[in-house]
Structure 1
Amino acid sequence: MTNFAVPSVTFNDDREMPLLGLGTYKMQGKECERAVREAIELGYRKFDTATLYDNEEAVGKALTDAFAAGDVDRDEVFVTTKVWHTHHGEEGTTQAFQESMGKLGLDYLDLYLIHWPYPQGGRYVETFEQMAKLQGMGQIASIGVANFYEETLEDLITKVGITPVLNQVELHPGFTQAELRKFHADHDVVTEAWSPLARGVVLGNPDIQDIAAEVGATAGQVVLRHLLNHGISVIPKTSQPERLKENLESVNVELNDEHMARIDALDTRKGFGRMFPDPRRFPDV
């Protein structure tokens, strides 16, 4: 096991979650099973999947095999999955959740998220209400959202009366969403970054590379540590053993105030910004 101490965060419902985990988007079958098992061996305890990823069964098999082998206990692992917009609404959410649990093979889920607000469909409030009902039945520990923005978060909180514990959004150097993070802080919502390395695009930035050389770390480790220092949860995706280890060991990197300020300043640079679809318009079907 890697020598590490992954920081954790306490949700507004008093449950805890590791701030660093493994994203599994586009990992399938045996590759996904292997990556999750190797991640567990290294010390990862948080795993992120979704209905859309079509790998819940592989993630679940890796986890249940690890439980059976005594590599880790169920209560040591934090598992997240998400409901896709095609299953918004009371009936669809219940169906999607039951299908996800069947594929994962777990007796409870740590965190269930609405994958996208899909405001065009107008059913994210109903979806979150049903998630809260499922939570009340004991199979979901915490409920949250992904890709929500200020208006949809405000609408959800006002109409449902429950504040999501977490909002998982696109976030990386050059696009750290300061205004949205302030909204999160004001409402006690944890910020989680998907694609925190921007699919590698930010790793070639001269400032990040200079800081990496100065602190004796990789560019990827500097990026992850920067986000962790801001209290942002990160779920970098990789199936490569060396990258799994590298990402996890980012928790041992030390950045000073000047390093943090240099990376923060990338938000003002041209050529940086949102790289993926805007949730105000996506999905458009």
Structure 2
Amino acid sequence: MSTDFQQAREALGVRLRELRLYAPGGRLTGTQLAQRLGWPHSKIYKLENGQQTATTEDLRAWADGVGQAEAFDELDARLKGFESHIRSWRRQLAAGHRPVQDSWNTEVDRSRAIYAWEEAVIPGMLQTPDYARYIFLRYADLQNSVRDTDEAVRARMKRQEWIYQGGRKFNVLVWEAALHALVCPPAVLATQLDRLSGTIGLDTVELGIIPLRASLKIPTANGFWIFDDRLVIAEDWHAELWLDDAESVTTYLRVWRTLRESAVYGTDAHNVINAARRGLNAT
């Protein structure tokens, strides 16, 4: 979790504590407020000490509970401010995967150059519909989220129109491990590898594969996408990080360029993909 995010969460906690201590009807203890809201006392402690992220509903209940309903708008604005950078999967997927895909499509459409790194899956911009479907199903199971799989797949496929428009460039790096990961049936992965191989040579796509045996200057880590020089989206298990400060964008570009030094392109990339394809036939 980013330092800026944690600092913002702690600052919100300080404000919550202030509202409790200076309630119009007199100071409330944490135990009294917990009883009033029907919460365990530990939740009061965690929110005030920045150890738990409040929901909008939590903030509304808190403002009402301390007799300062008018404070809700301020509290909610604080929450939205730091959640614009740390977007938890629990919140994002409350309505399914389609809204997340729509948000990504907006950023893709705004971009002229995209730099992507994926270490475990084929990048969404190059996925086949069947492969994408299995990815969405896996994550819906993990996050126990709404299954709007077909709508999410359609939204992801629409995003791919971008790579067929002139004047744009998709610079993408994929670790060889992603070519072998059976997150879908072997037949689906085989078709996906054929699709990936077919993108080599497109003037709007520069595909680099980092072989498993390549010498690495830095360890491989979570996937991330860089949109022009204005935004980075990085994924973790609990959330997406949307980073738009210049220092973060510069850091991720430096990581991408360092990883690129270990990648192979053109015929060599074809050979790595074809070897993975032959491996599927042998299983």
TM-score by length of structure 1 reads 0.27
Greater fraction of residues in helix = 2
- Give the structure with higher Rg (CA): 2
TM-score, scaled relative to structure 2 = 0.27
Greater relative contact order (CA < 8 Å, ≥ 6 in sequence):
1
